[in-house]
Amino acid sequence: MTEKGARAAKTTANRAKMLTAARNLFTTRGYTATTMKAIAEAAGMAVQTLYFTFATKRAILSELLDLEIAGDAEPIATLDRPWFAAAVEAPPQDQIRRQVDAAATIFGRVSALLEVIRSAAATDPELADLWQTNLAQRHLVQLRLAEALAAKSPLRAGLDTERAADISLAVLAPETYHLLVHERGWTPAQWTSWASDALIRQLLP
All domains in the chain, ordered by first residue: 1-55 (1.10.10.60), 76-203 (1.10.357)
pTM: 0.88
Average pLDDT score over residue span 48-54: 95
Dihedrals phi, psi of 2, to nearest 5 degrees: -70, 165
Q: How confident is the model at residue 1 (pLDDT cuts 50, 70, 90)?
A: low
Give 8-36 pLDDT, tens digit per residue: 788 889 999 999 999 999 999 999 999 99
Answer yes or no: are the C-beta atoms of 177 and 191 closer than 8 Å: yes
Give 118-170 pLDDT, tens digit per residue: 999 999 999 999 999 999 999 999 999 999 999 999 999 999 999 999 999 99
Nearest to residue 43, comparing CAs of 65, 71, 24, 66? 24
Q: How confident is the model at residue 74 (pLDDT cuts 50, 70, 90)?
A: confident
